[in-house]
Every structure is written in structure tokens, then in C-alpha cells.
Amino acid sequence: MIIQIYAFTNIEQAQAAAELGVDHIGFVAGQYGIVHGELSFDQACHLAASLPPQATRVALTMATDVDEIVRMADTVRPDIIHISTDPDEVGPAAMEQLRKWLPDSVRLMKALPVDDESSIAVAQRFARVSDLLLLDTKMRGLPGVGASGRTHDWSISRRIVERLSIPVILAGGLTPENVAAAIDVAQPWGVDSNTSTNLPGDPVAKDLDRIRAFVAAARSALPMPAAGARS
């Protein structure tokens, strides 16, 4: 089970999380005044370069311009680029363009909201142009997809997982208290936490005790059935 945590701004906390067993260390690359925890490209590059070798560096972007996303990738050098804007702001054509312009070593992860049955078809459409999908919760009034602290219907997420041949990370209101149940229902390749692993009342600083508990709970969940593309 892959564990992904957002959104680090502090190098020491990011390094500590990696040592606690967090596989994907996430951070926001680009200062656009849109979401909490934004880092400049240079700051994001410095944080990414500071991580231990076992950590996967995941740069979340709120940019909608393909050239800007490529510029970020060239500076920050992440392992994964997390496209977290609303789906059609960076649609399938833009994702295809990014795939052509980025090095093969950089994977593209598209964040998609899980609303209802229609989300399955949307996920299938974006799976053709993505290396990974992140299934999250969209909340009105918040920019992009995610950071709502709200769960969604995990049974729909499971149906998406079953229909796709690329890895799927489950996000949206996951906590140390519910992540094992979420894994049991959705059977994802990985799980993601942002708001639930922050210090109470702080939109940026991480709570290492909560991260430790999240990792332990996720690792204790029943393993997913073997599947070639998600193993």
C-alpha cells in the first residue's frame, strides 16, 4: 500500500515523514495565491532535493498552462506531477501534450472528483492520458480538486479501481481512524492524507504523531487482491 501525504513546506518535517514510512512526499509547487502551502519553484526544488532516496517526490500544481507546468517540472524535477485543478482546466488534450513534452521518467497524476456514477466514465477518459489517478472529494468554494477534509462514496471509487489498468490513489477525508476501512472498501493502490495530518487549526504545519498513526493504520489494512497494473 503506497502512502502519500501533503502538503509539506518544512524540510525537516518532510524528511521525518519519509523516515516514518511515507512513500510519496507531496508539496505544492508554484505560488499563485490559490491554496495553502504554496512554495516557489526554487523552494520546492530545495525540498525535493533534500528528501532521502526512498521517497517519491510529488509536486502538486494548480497551473492550467502546459508551458507553466513544464517550466515547473524543469526547475523542481519531481518524480510525479499532480494536476489538481478542476478536470477540464487541464483536459485530456493538455495531458497528452504534457506527456509528449515531459521526460519519460516524470509520471503524471490527475486528480478527479468522485461525485456519482458519472465519475466512472470521467476516470476512464483520463486514465488513457495519465500514469496515475487520484480520486478525491470536490467541495464547492474550494479551488481545484481536494483539500476538503471530506470523504466520498468509496464504493464508486472501488468500481473505478476495478475498471482501470493504472494505479489509483484514494484521497478525501482519510484519517488514521478511517483509512483502514477505506482501503477495505475501495481497494486502491495507495492512500492520501492532507488536512487530517495537519496540526489542529493549522493549514500548513504537519502533525508527525498523526502521520505515524496514519501510516500504521494503512499498513494494518487487509492487502488488496493481486492485480498486474496495481501491484
Average pLDDT of adjacent 10-residue blocks, the chain of 231 residues: 96 98 98 94 98 97 97 98 94 97 97 94 97 87 67 95 97 96 97 94 94 97 51 31
User: What are the CB-based long-range contacts (under 8 Å, 24+) for 158-162?
Assistant: 158/185, 158/186, 158/187, 159/120, 160/114, 160/119, 160/120, 160/123, 160/124, 160/133, 160/135, 161/186, 161/187, 161/188, 161/189, 161/230, 162/187
DSSP one-letter code for 104: T
3-state percent breakdown (helix, strand, coil) of the chain, nearest 5: 40, 20, 40
Place of cell 500548513: 204
Q: How far is CA 9 from the centre of its chain?
A: 15
Distance, in Å, from the CA atom of 100 to the CA atom of 201, rounded to the nearest integer, reads 41
CB 4 within 8 A of CB 191: yes
DSSP one-letter code for 65: -
Distance, in Å, from the CA atom of 158 to the CA atom of 33, rounded to the nearest integer, reads 34
Place of cell 520546492: 44
Q: How many CA atoms lie within 13 A of 192 on its CB side?
A: 31
Element (H, E) at 107: strand 107-113
Element (H, E) at 56: strand 56-61
Which domains are present in the chain?
2-230 (3.20.20.70)
Q: How far is CA 162 from the centre of its chain?
A: 19
CB 1 within 8 A of CB 55: no
User: Of 204, 205, 171, which is closest to residue 36 (Cα–Cα)?
Assistant: 204
Q: What is the DSSP string of 27-48?
A: EEE---SSSTTEE-HHHHHHHH
C-alpha cell at 60: 502538486
